[in-house]
Amino acid sequence: MKLYNSLSQTKEVFVPNNDRKVTLYVCGITPYDTTHLGHAFTYLTFDILQRFLTFQGYTVTYTQNVTDIDDDILKKAHEVGKDWQELGEFWTKKFLNDLNDLNVIMPTFYVKATDSIPTILEIVEKLIEKKLAYEKSGNVYFRVKSDPDYGKLSKFSREEMIKLSKERGADPADPNKEDPLDFILWQKSKEDEPSWNSKWARLPSPPPTTQASERAGDGEANGGQGKGRPGWHIECSAMIYKYLDKKIDIHGGGIDLIYPHHESEIAQSENFTGEKPFVKYWLHTGAVGYQGHKMSKSLGNLVMVSDLLKKYPPNAIRYLLLSHHYRQPWEFKEEELITAAKSLKNLLENLKGEEKGDTEGFIQALSDDLDTPKALKVMEEAGGKTLLEMLLLLGFII
């Protein structure tokens, strides 16, 4: 089996770190809005990967996270007047329902970032001890200049990284930073934000009221402790370390996560554990577009999975997604979904036909960097039990 590694930018033969055991981590959702087709494309890709690895005899331990504490969630909760935890639980449930309808297998561990706060604090403290991070005004930053390998995944220049970090939520102009590229590991919470105790930002504060205590979460500020919450990148490093290992086989996510998120994960994790490489194979899915632009919550050009499910069967949506190679960007057009539904109908009729099919060609297609479009083409010429086995391996509901 070969997989395209974003780090080496080549297809590499897949050889896990530990014989027949595979560790897989995929960045999950930030649950402040609903599930769109771009999300489904990513998580269906790793559903197929998990199924195919299991078919090949590997034992897969798969962790996917929920970024349940984040600037976007807090902003959205304030806008709609809901508790941040209530908002997160609501949209996480909607997301899981959509994926369940598409017959996506649940990961081994499906975990919230807030369940790993002690691990996050452990990593931050160690990085400070190693002089790889520093505290300023209650925030803790990773010192990018301390890591000469920073940028090895994205291959971006310093200027490109500064530009992108600003576009993707960071603040290169933050006066507390030693360098514009330094990124937040831990940040001081505002008075109306959830917080956890830490060694940093030990500012005097009045005794908390019952209401303030409830708002503060697991570690409300008291007794001179600092009020803070984790940065985005450190959450994934902590969950990988806690639920998988110091080193893992495969790390996945959308292509837009390569910088700054995955680049920063590498720096944190490799410098915390001393183990390199932190990830052996980096897999990234292409962006899904609609109406001429990448599908995104900020633009509002979303195609909702739940809306599509009102008009089309889950198998048709799965067929549409698998008809695109996971690394290639594409634009959704409803006519293509109509065609997918017809193609699927023909396949299901072939189940009643004669026994035939190129099983070896089907396996070779999936072994070549999960070439699902080619696998579907092979299936068109199959029938009977052979076709049934192919459909089941690709997760169709029969």
One DSSP character per residue, 189-258 reads: PPTTS--EEESS-----PPPPHHHHHHHGGG---TT-EEEEE-HHHHHHHHHHHHT-SSEEEEEEEGGGI
Q: Which of 73-82, 203-212, 361-370 has the lowest mean pLDDT?
A: 203-212
pLDDT average, residue stretch 92-120: 96
Q: Which of 56-70, 118-132, 207-221, 257-271 has the lowest mean pLDDT?
A: 207-221
pLDDT average, residue stretch 237-263: 97
Query: What integer best gives the mean pLDDT of the chain?
Result: 92
**CATH 1.20.120.640 holds for 333-393:** yes
pLDDT computed for residue 294 by the predictor: 84
pLDDT computed for residue 23 by the predictor: 98
**Phi, psi angles (nearest 5°) of residue 392:** -65, -40
pLDDT computed for residue 218 by the predictor: 39
pTM above 0.85, yes or no: yes
pLDDT average, residue stretch 81-96: 94
**Each residue's pLDDT tens digit, 307-344:** 999 999 999 999 999 999 999 999 999 999 999 999 99
Domain with CATH 1.20.120.640 in the chain: 333-393
> Which two tokens mark 250?
């495969």
Domain with CATH 3.40.50.620 in the chain: 2-289
Q: For the domain with range 2-289, which CATH number is right: 3.40.50.620, 3.40.50.300, 3.90.1150.10, 3.30.420.40?
A: 3.40.50.620
What percent of the chain stands above pLDDT 70? 94
pLDDT computed for residue 220 by the predictor: 36
Other Cβ atoms less than 10 A from the Cβ of 301: the count is: 16
What percent of the chain stands above pLDDT 90? 85
Q: Residue 376 carries which side chain, given as an amino acid letter?
A: L
pLDDT average, residue stretch 19-45: 93
pLDDT computed for residue 96 by the predictor: 95
Exposed/middle/buried for residue 2 (C-beta within 10 Å: 0-12, 13-18, 19+): middle
Characterize the bridge pairing of strands 279-285 and 248-254.
Answer: parallel
362 pLDDT more than 90: yes
